[in-house]
Amino acid sequence: MSAVLEQSASEPEAALTDGFHLVVDALMANGIKTIYNVPGIPITDLGRLAQASGMRVISFRHEQNAGNAAAIAGFLTKSPGVCLTVSAPGFLNGLVALANATTNCFPMILISGSSEREIVDLQQGDYEEMDQLAIARPMCKAAYRVLHAADIGIGVARAIRAAVSGRPGGVYLDMPAKLFGQVMDAEAGRHSLVTVVDPAPAQIPAPSAVERALDVLRGAKRPLIILGKGAAYAQADDDIRALVEKSGIPYIPMSMAKGLLPDTHPLSAAAARSTVLSESDVVMLIGARLNWLLSHGKGRQWGPPGAKKFVQIDIEPREMDSNVEIAAPLVGDIGSCVAALLRGMRDGWVPPPAEWTQAINAKKEQNIARMATRLGKNALPMDYHTALRVLRDVIKERPDAILVNEGANTLDQARGVIDMYQPRKRLDVGTWGVMGIGMGFAVAAAVETGKPVLAIEGDSAFGFSGMEVETICRYNLPVCIVVFNNDGIYRGDGVNLGGGSDPATTAFVKGSRYDRMIEGFGGVGVNATTPDELKRAVDTAMNSGKPTLINAVIDPAAGSESGNIGNLNPKSALTKKAGA
C-alpha cells in the first residue's frame, strides 16, 4: 500500500499525507525494514501503518526487550535498529536499552511518542506527562524532537547519521502525539524526505599515524593483538584475519569478538590469556577499550608498570589515553586502519620471534589439556562444564547458529568453554554486564539473520526478559533457550543468615520448571537432567526450528559468587564468616 492518505471522492484536491505516513516513509527511504515495539498511545497506529506498508513490526511484551532487540539489530547489521515506544513509562522502559546500546557502541534509534508540549511544559498533568527529551539526553549519543510533519524527514536523517557515524550509539527521537496527525501536501511531504547518503563515512587514518603504529609493532619482541566487539561490528572480517595472519601476531578476542577468527585458529592465545597479557611488550587494541574488562590496562594482570607499549585502533579519538598512555593512536574506522596496516606490511614484514609464539603454544597446550579433563567429567546433577560440553559440541556442529548468553557462572563458563567459528555469532551482556538482554537479543538475532539461535541463560538472567517466550512463539522464531537452572543467583544453596523462614536473597523456588512456561504458548518444553537428554533436546530444537525452552537442571552448589568477577563484589566480614 502506498503511504499516501486515501482521497475521498468529495475531496478532489491534491493528495495529502500526514505525520504517521511520513515517519514510515522516512524510515523506509533509508532502508529500515524492521521496527521493534510495544503499541499504545500515541503510536499504535504508527506500528499498524508500518506493517501495512511492508515493514516488519515485532511487538514485544516489554519495551526494554524491544529496545535490546533494536540495539543488537544495529550491532549485527551496522544499520540503526529502531525501537518504538509509548510515552513516559514505555519510554522509560526503553531507556535502559538505549543507554546500554550507547555504552556498547551499538547504533539504535528509540522513537517515542510523547504528550503535548504545551501541557507538559506547564506541568498541567497531561496523560503520561514527562519531559522525555531532557531525560533521554544524558543517556544517549544524540536526542532530537520533531514538532512539524515537514521536519520528519530531516529528524529521521539526523537520527540515522548520529547513530552510525563515528562511534556508534543510541539516539533518541521524540515525537509528540500531535505530530502524527498533522496533515500536509503529499508532494511536499515526499520532497521533505531525506535519503541519507553514506551515513557512516570511512574515516581514513593519517599516513603518519599508520607509520608510527607499524614502527611500534616492528620494535616488538612479544606482541599481542586484542580484538574487541568494535572489530566485530566493523565487518572488516577478511582484512582483520589477513592482518593477524600476515603479521603472525598472537591475538585474544574479547567476548563478542570471539569467532571473528575461529577460536581454534593457531594464532589464538585465548587459552594463554594471563600469560600474554602480563608478558607481551606491545599490545595492539582493535575496537576494544581498556575498561574494567581489561583491568584498565594496568595492575598485576598487565605485568610491570610501564613495560608495555600500546597501539590502539579506534574511531573515537577521545578513547586514546583514557586509561594508560597510547604510544601509537590510530584514529579511523577499523576497515580503513587495518587495510592501511596491511599495505604497510606488504614488503619485508618479519613475524614475531619464535620464542614468543612457542612459549604461548606451550601454555595453551597445558591449559587446553586441563580444560579437557574438566569437560571430560560427567557430573550428575550436571555442573556447568558437563552441560556446556554438550552446547560446545552443538555450536561446533552448527557454526552459523547465533549464541546469546547471559548470567554469571552461566556466562563466564560458557564464554570459556564454547568456541565460536564465525564473526558476530556471540551476543552477550557486553560492557555493563547487564542482565535482561537475552530474549530481546534472541528475537532480533533470529529476525535479522534468519539463523537458528541458541540462548544460554542463567535462571536469574532469564527472568529479566522471560515473558518474551510468548513473542518467540507468536512469531514462530527458531530460538532454543537453555535455562541453566541452579535454583538461584550464582548458587541455589544460599541460606537466610537471619534464620527466618524467608528464602536466601539469592535463592529461587527449588526445582522450578521453566520449560512449562513455553508450553503455555505452544512452544516445546523439555526438562533435561543429563547431558544426553540435553543434547537430544537441543539437536531436536535446532533441527526443527521450533521455539523451545530446555530446563537444564544444574547442581545448586556448582556455581561461585558473581562467577568470575567475585573480586568486584564487596563483602561484609559478617557474611564472609557465615560462609554466604
Task: Tell me which residues touch Mg ion (CB under 5 A).
Answer: 458-459, 486
**Residues numbered 429-468 forming contacts with ligand ADP, rule: CB under 6 A:** 431
Nearest to 223 by CA among 255, 246, 256: 246
**Helix, strand, coil % in the chain, rounded to nearest 5:** 45, 15, 40
For residue 552, give the H/E element and its range: strand 548-553
Give pairs for 59-62: CB < 8 Å, separation 24+.
Answer: 59/471, 60/36, 60/440, 60/443, 60/468, 60/471, 61/467, 61/468, 61/470, 61/471, 62/38, 62/93, 62/465, 62/467, 62/468
**Residues numbered 485-514 forming contacts with ligand TZD, rule: CB under 6 A:** 486, 489-490
The site string for ligand ADP over 283-322 (x = CB under 6 A, - otherwise) reads ----xxx-x-x--------------------xxx--x---
Q: Is 228 in the site for ligand ADP (CB under 6 A)?
A: yes
Considering the complex, state which of residue 36 and residue 233 has its C-beta at the smaller distance from ligand ADP: 233
Considering the complex, state which of residue 421 and residue 441 has its C-beta at the smaller distance from ligand TZD: 441
Q: Which residue is nearest to ligand TZD (CB)?
A: 458
Q: Which of 90, 230, 416, 531 binds ligand ADP (CB under 6 A)?
A: 230
The least CB distance from residue 267 to ligand ADP, in Å, is 18
The least CB distance from residue 61 to ligand TZD, in Å, is 17
Considering the complex, state which of residue 243 and residue 538 has its C-beta at the smaller distance from ligand ADP: 243
**Contact partner at residue 293 from Mg ion, ligand TZD, ligand ADP, none, CB < 5 to 8 Å by partner kind:** ligand ADP
As a whole number of angstroms, the distance between CA 63 and CA 467 comes to 12
Q: Is 433 in the site for ligand TZD (CB under 6 A)?
A: yes
As a whole number of angstroms, the distance between CA 61 and CA 77 comes to 24
Nearest to 119 by CA among 71, 62, 177: 177
Q: Is 404 in the site for ligand TZD (CB under 6 A)?
A: no
**Contact partner at residue 434 from Mg ion, ligand ADP, ligand TZD, none, CB < 5 to 8 Å by partner kind:** ligand TZD
Q: Which residue shows C-alpha cell 606490511?
A: 345
Size of the site for ligand ADP (CB under 6 A): 24
Considering the complex, state which of residue 43 and residue 489 has its C-beta at the smaller distance from ligand TZD: 489
Q: Is 326 in the site for ligand ADP (CB under 6 A)?
A: no
The least CB distance from residue 167 to ligand ADP, in Å, is 4
How many beta carbons lie within 10 A of that of residue 274, not counting itself? 11
The least CB distance from residue 141 to Mg ion, in Å, is 34
The least CB distance from residue 518 to ligand TZD, in Å, is 18
Q: Provide the b/e sequence for 331-352 (b: ≥16 CB within 10 Å).
A: bbbbbbbbbbbbebbeeeeeeb
Q: Which residue is nearest to ligand ADP (CB)?
A: 230
What region does 422 belong to: left with phi over 0, alpha with psi -120 to 50, or beta? beta
Residue type (1 letter), 45: D
Cβ neighbours of residue 347 closer than 8 Å, sequence gap 6 or more: none
Cβ neighbours of residue 449 closer than 8 Å, sequence gap 6 or more: 76, 402
As a whole number of angstroms, the distance between CA 203 and CA 230 comes to 14
As a whole number of angstroms, the distance between CA 557 and CA 76 comes to 36
**Contact partner at residue 334 from ligand TZD, Mg ion, ligand ADP, none, CB < 5 to 8 Å by partner kind:** ligand ADP
Q: Is 556 in the site for ligand TZD (CB under 6 A)?
A: no
Q: Which of 60, 233, 302, 356 binds ligand ADP (CB under 6 A)?
A: 233
As a whole number of angstroms, the distance between CA 468 and CA 318 comes to 38
As a whole number of angstroms, the distance between CA 227 and CA 288 comes to 6
Query: By the criterion CB under 6 A, which residues form the site for ligand ADP?
Result: 104-105, 167-168, 228-230, 233-234, 254, 256-257, 287-289, 291, 293, 314-316, 319, 333-334, 431
Query: By the criterion CB under 6 A, which residues form the site for ligand TZD?
Result: 407-410, 433-436, 458-461, 484, 486, 489-490, 559, 563
